């Protein structure tokens, strides 16, 4: 599979420490374990930061988020908490664009084939690209 900056999904074995900005530190570390350390890791994939940015832009909620943040006083914890709750509600209530949904479902179907189960159970983890600065 060829990789590019517009990938919506990347499999763990396709990423490494150089991809923290694309998939976050946890996922990049899983890739390192698979490819460099040859540690057996259950198969899985990452929804990329590009997919998230595309979601924000394609659904037109990016500007709504900025407007919510502009109104919040950064020195007022209560206002920041309210802004955070509004943003979370906005994100959770916004339908995922069909292109991203299809990419996730296609990858889930591929995962099912890899683990030889019709509907495999999965764990969904956040792996923020900004939380992990440098990996060794």
Mean pLDDT over residues 3-20, rounded? 92
* CATH number of the domain residue 22 falls in: 3.30.1490.20
- Residue 52 shares a structural domain with residue 87: no
Q: Which domain holds residue 131?
A: 1-57+98-136
Helix (H, G, I), strand (E, B) or coil at 10: strand
- Residue 80 shares a structural domain with residue 110: no
What backbone phi and psi angles, to 5 degrees, belong to 85? -65, -40
- Residue 68 shares a structural domain with residue 126: no
Indicate the pTM of the whole model.
0.84
Mean pLDDT over residues 36-42, rounded? 93
What backbone phi and psi angles, to 5 degrees, belong to 45? -140, 165
Q: What's the CA gap between 17 and 31, in Å, rounded?
A: 8
Cβ–Cβ < 8 Å for 41, 86? no
Helix (H, G, I), strand (E, B) or coil at 6: coil
User: Could you report the per-residue pLDDT of 74-122, keeping only the tens digit for each?
Assistant: 899 999 999 999 999 999 999 999 999 999 999 999 999 999 999 999 9
- Residue 46 shares a structural domain with residue 103: yes
- Residue 36 shares a structural domain with residue 64: no
């Amino acid at each position: 599979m060829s990789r590019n900056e517009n990938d919506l999904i990347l499999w763990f074995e396709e990423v490494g420490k150089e991809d923290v900005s694309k998939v976050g530190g946890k996922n990049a570390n899983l890739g390192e374990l698979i490819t460099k350390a040859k540690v057996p890791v259950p198969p899985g994939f990452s929804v990329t930061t590009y997919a998230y940015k595309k979601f924000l832009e394609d659904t037109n909620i990016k500007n709504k988020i900025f407007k919510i943040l502009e109104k919040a006083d950064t020195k007022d914890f209560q206002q920041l908490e309210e802004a955070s709750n509004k943003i979370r509600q906005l994100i959770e209530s916004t339908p995922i664009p069909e292109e991203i949904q299809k990419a996730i479902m296609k990858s889930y179907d591929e995962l099912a084939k890899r683990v030889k189960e019709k509907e495999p159970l999965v764990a969904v983890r956040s792996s923020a690209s900004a939380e992990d600065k440098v990996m060794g």
